[in-house]
């Protein structure tokens, strides 16, 4: 489950970059508002999956509530999900040992 959550965190961060640096410029400079609609929908879906996975990991791995809140609030800051993904990678490596 941690591996899936890690991948979701990574894709959520990538979708933020695509939304901000590809779709929004296409909307405002190339008059293609559909780009934001598509990228925004994908990003929104990934955010919802991120929160669901966060809650599932909280219950499964009995994380402290402080960790859950930290991951949630960090996910609200654009591109910081890369940090969450990196932090989860440490947990996955630790579980392998």
Task: Write down the pTM of the prediction.
Answer: 0.88
Q: DSSP 3-state assignment of 88?
A: helix
Domain hosting residue 50, numbered range = 2-96
DSSP assignments along 6-66, one per residue: HHHHHHHHHHHHHIIIIIHHHHHHS--HHHHHHHHHHHHHHHHHHHHHHHHHHHHHT--HH
pLDDT score, position 97: 64
- Block means of pLDDT (10 residues each) for the chain, length 97 residues? 93 94 97 97 96 97 94 86 87 79
In total, how many domains does the chain have?
1
């Amino acid at each position: 489950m941690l591996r899936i959550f890690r991948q979701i965190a990574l894709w959520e961060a990538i979708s933020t970059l695509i939304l901000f640096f590809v779709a929004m410029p296409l909307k405002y400079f190339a008059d293609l508002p559909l780009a934001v609609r598509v990228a925004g929908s994908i990003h929104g879906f990934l955010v919802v999956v991120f929160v669901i996975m966060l809650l599932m990991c909280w219950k499964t791995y009995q994380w402290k509530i402080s960790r859950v809140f930290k991951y949630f609030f960090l996910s609200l800051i654009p591109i910081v999900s890369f940090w969450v993904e990196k932090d989860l990678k440490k947990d996955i490596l630790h579980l392998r040992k």
